[in-house]
Structure 1
Amino acid sequence: MFDIDDTLVDLHAAMKDAMIAASRPLLPDFGAADWDGFAALYMADVHRYYDRYVAGEFTFSEQRGLRARAVFAHFGTPGFDARAEQDWIEDFEQAQPHHIRAYPDVVPALDALDAARIPYGAVSNNVHDYQRAKLDHAGLQRISILVGIDTVNAAKPEPKVFWEGCRLLGTGPAETLYVGDNYLVDGEGSAAAGLQAVWLDRKVAGAPSGSAAGCGAAEGIRTVAGLGELGALTGPRRL
């Protein structure tokens, strides 16, 4: 089982491109470095608006607007009122699908799983239909099994989300690898649910502080820098 955002799909790059498309009318003088800073602030989400959306505090559209509002306030952008915010959300959502791409190592990894007759699917902390469309835009229609937060009305790291993925795969947790880029949610969460946890550390940044690994207490979570390394993990302990 795979996470989707920043595991299979380069969401950061897609969101940055969509932000530029939606924001350029308000920030016509921004250059490349400015857009890097804009995207970094948005993705950092210091107020945890996305996590709060997952928890049910905001709608998806509301968290999108709140995050944009915080970034525009940081840059002191005038005129970002409620109407401008709604226009920005709409422009962003129209632009993002055109920039969705799978990482280069995804298709070869799925080809290898197909060749080995190892079933696979995805578990995501977003709603099913939104993520279904994202996979399709990325050319990953072959991933037919997909669990979203609305599938079992729960979100990672709750065990039942991972277990639903296993149920749909027809595999037990102990014989299922779960691969994701978020050490706490994907790594520790899937390990706690009894799956074989694989943390995808594409930037080779190391486990975050405050995690079990950061405290020197991580057990059973294996690390890969790319999906090409999964072959070594699906041999002796096959799915």
Structure 2
Amino acid sequence: MTLDATTNTAASAPFTGRVSGVLFDIDETLVDLVAAMTDAMVSASAHLLPDFGPNDWADFSALYMADPERYYDRYVDGEFSFGQQRGLRARVVFEHLGVAFDAAAEQQWITDFELAQPRSIRAFTDVVPVLDALDAAGIPYGAVSNNVHDYQRAKLDQAGLSRIEVLVGIDTVNVSKPDPAIFLEGCRQLGTLPEETIYVGDNYLIDGVASSRAGLHGVWLNRDGKVPPSDADGVMTIEDLAGLTLLLGL
């Protein structure tokens, strides 16, 4: 179900009076990570690609974020360290471009990237209004992320979202999404039952479907207007976080 803001009313909102808490994904849900990472890629790579223009950097970022070798997922599974997956993903891009990128250059790239990225971390513009609405309604909220707690804690704080106190990372319960345990830990920390909790995230499968299968109400945040899967598995769709306030009748 895609929520239609033109016809929804508080009385018809699907979750009016039925939800006691909300959990959010972080990257590309609360925080514009793609923009921050693109800025960091330019900072770390400009000396190696001095003739690159805006379109070139957009292509660089797109290939890095596509992560065709699944290095980030393999980091989550424990195969690589966080820094290693950064360098390996960069190596794929530089190899594609035919640019020399030896071990020393890779290590320097990782260092430069990690220094640059925090400077560009920003929350999406629709985040603070929805948190204000949840606060006004007395609905507690938190975050469940497929990254480690302390790294994501620093990211939320850098984005001006220190008000999000409940935060579950993959090291909190030593599992990652789509494992139900990570969602259930978020509910436990919020003090809400799964069936009374919404989970909002930008990944249809590991956020929307997985949280629904864990017993929560999965909501897919489809900021980019992707075509929804034909089999929605009971997952609702919103196009921005303002849609969440409509779901809740706030």
TM range (shorter): over 0.9
Alignment correspondent of 1:189: 210
Deviation at 1:43, TM superposition (A): 0.2
Which residue matches 1:45? 67
Long gaps (5+) in structure 1? 208-213
- Do residues 150 (structure 1) and 171 (structure 2) align? yes
Does 2:114 align with 1:100?
Answer: no
How far has the Cα of 1:217 moved from its partner?
A: 2.8
2:41 to 19, 40, 58: 19
Normalised to the residue count of structure 2, the TM-score between the two structures is 0.90
**Superposed CA RMSD:** 0.9
Q: How many residues align?
A: 228
| Structure 2: gaps (5+ residues) | 1-22
**Alpha-carbon distance, 1:104 to partner:** 0.3
The CA deviation string for residues 162-193 of structure 1, in whole angstroms up to 9 with x for no partner, is: 00000000000000000000001001110100
Partner in structure 2 of residue 65 of structure 1 = 87
Q: Please list every run of at least 4 consecutive aligned residues from structure 1 whose deviation after the TM superposition is greater than 6 angstroms.
A: none
Aligned to 1:225: 239
Higher relative contact order (CA 8 A, sep 6+): 2
How far does the alpha carbon of each residue in 1:14-63 deviate from its partner, in whole angstroms, 9 at most, with x for none? 00000000000110110111001000000000000000100111111111
- Find the aligned partners of 1:101 and 1:132 in 2 and give their Cα distance: 14
For residue 61 of structure 1, what is the amino acid of its counterpart? G
**Alpha-carbon separation, structure 2, partners of 1:219 and 1:49:** 28
Q: How far apart are the structure 2 equivalents of 1:101 and 1:155?
A: 24
**SS at 1:199 equivalent:** strand
SS at match of 2:215: coil
2:219 pairs, out of 164, 181, 198, with: 198
Structure 2 counterpart of 1:210? none
Give TM-score, length-normalised by structure 1: 0.94
Aligned twin of 1:234: 248
Aligned to 1:114: 135
Are residue 139 (structure 1) and residue 160 (structure 2) matched? yes
Judge conservation of contact 2:209–2:233 (CA < 8 Å) in 1: no
Shift of 1:232: 1.8
3-state SS in 2 of match to 1:121: strand
Letter in 2 for 1:229: G
The amino acid across from 1:231 in the alignment is T
Checking the alignment, whether the CA contact within 8 Å between 2:201 and 2:207 is kept in structure 1 is: yes
Matched letter for residue 6 of structure 1: E
Other structure's SS at 2:200 match: strand
CA distance in 2, matches of 1:145, 1:56: 24
Distance 1:218 1:108 in 2: 28
Pick aligned residue for 1:81 from 95, 102, 106: 102
Alignment correspondent of 1:163? 184
Tell me the SS of whatever aligns to 1:154. Answer: coil
